[in-house]
């Protein structure tokens, strides 16, 4: 019998948001809900597991390391989003490590059940294809930035990306919680000191207001104009 609590939680997942009640109830018999503490590792790179995960609450970070130990952060995943779908689809080892940035509630489903859901529901399969396309476009953009932009300009681009999901109020956008300077550096292939210097410069010029808990872009239109001028 389906658990109505899991039904409600799964309804929060974008992939399943339009699923009919009967299909959602049948689906909720399959996954397993787990809690992860802040900074707890969920997956490691090269792990051979193939489960797919749905974030019900909290924030998750996807990262990897170079051979010399340098960290690179691919993305932050929030409530209603999915991770682990690559291995669930192709059966290959995990391509990145995943940790909980804060206490998080995650639902996991084994790959055979996930593939069964995809094969039986075109709407979900189409949503997944659009999601994968979006992830590929984002990675392509970031790869281009790494080879075409300076460290300073990559910081600007990352702030603009973060602003897309920020809190809008008039002309300003608040990024909350604010990533640390180290986290921004790991996202753009730079160093913490360079990020600190650039954020201080932007604050002095009146583009930003920076604190430990949030970053406020004071006028998003002017900030995007700055980004357009500096882009190749």
pLDDT digits (tens, 9 = 90+) for 49-77: 999 999 999 999 999 988 788 889 999 99
**pTM to 2 decimal places:** 0.81
Q: What are phi and psi of 42, to 5 degrees?
A: -105, -45
Same domain, 110 and 92: yes
- Structural domain count of the chain: 2
Angle formed by the axes of helices 151-164 and 122-148, to 10°? Answer: 150
Mean pLDDT of 70-95: 93
Q: Domain ends where: 126, 146, 166?
A: 146
The CATH number for 52's domain is 2.60.120.10
Q: Is 58 helix (H, G, I), strand (E, B) or coil?
A: coil
Q: Which domain holds residue 115?
A: 4-146
Residues with Cβ within 8 Å of 83's Cβ and at least 6 positions away in sequence, in order, are 52, 53, 55, 60, 62, 77, 98
**Higher-confidence residue: 12 or 31?**
12
Same domain, 119 and 175: no
Q: What are phi and psi of 71, to 5 degrees?
A: -90, 140
Q: Domain ends where: 123, 146, 169?
A: 146
Residues 181 and 193: their CA atoms lie apart, in Å, by 8
Residue 29: the pLDDT is 61
Residue 4: the pLDDT is 52
Tokens of 91: 């059966």
| pLDDT tens sequence across 154-194 | 999 999 999 998 999 999 999 998 999 999 999 999 999 99
Residues with Cβ within 8 Å of 30's Cβ and at least 6 positions away in sequence, in order, are 109, 110, 113
**pLDDT confidence bin for 2, thresholds 50/70/90:** very low
11, 75, 109, 29 alpha-carbon torsion, rounded to 10°? -10
| pLDDT tens sequence across 21-52 | 777 777 766 678 899 999 999 999 999 999 99
Residue 223: the pLDDT is 95
């Amino acid at each position: 019998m389906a658990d109505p609590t899991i039904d409600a939680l799964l309804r929060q997942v974008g992939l399943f948001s339009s699923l009919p009640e009967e299909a959602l109830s049948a689906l909720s018999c399959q996954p397993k809900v787990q809690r992860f503490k802040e900074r707890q590792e969920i997956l490691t790179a090269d792990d051979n597991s193939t489960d797919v995960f749905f974030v019900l609450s909290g924030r998750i970070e996807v990262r990897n390391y170079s051979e010399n130990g340098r960290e690179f952060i691919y993305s932050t995943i929030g409530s209603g989003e999915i991770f682990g779908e690559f291995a669930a689809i192709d059966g290959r080892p995990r391509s990145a490590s995943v940790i909980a940035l804060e206490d998080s509630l995650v639902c996991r489903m084994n790959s055979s059940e996930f593939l069964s859901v995809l094969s039986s529901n075109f709407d979900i399969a189409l949503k997944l294809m659009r999601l994968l396309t979006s992830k590929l476009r984002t990675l392509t953009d970031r790869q281009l930035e790494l080879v075409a932009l300076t460290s300073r300009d990559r910081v600007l681009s990352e702030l603009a990306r973060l602003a897309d999901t920020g809190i809008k109020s008039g002309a300003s956008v608040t990024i909350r919680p604010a990533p640390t300077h180290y986290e921004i550096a790991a996202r753009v292939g730079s160093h913490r000191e360079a990020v600190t210097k650039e954020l201080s410069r932007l604050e002095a010029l009146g583009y930003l207001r920076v604190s430990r808990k949030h970053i406020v872009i004071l006028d998003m239109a002017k900030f995007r104009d700055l980004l357009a001028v500096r882009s190749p």
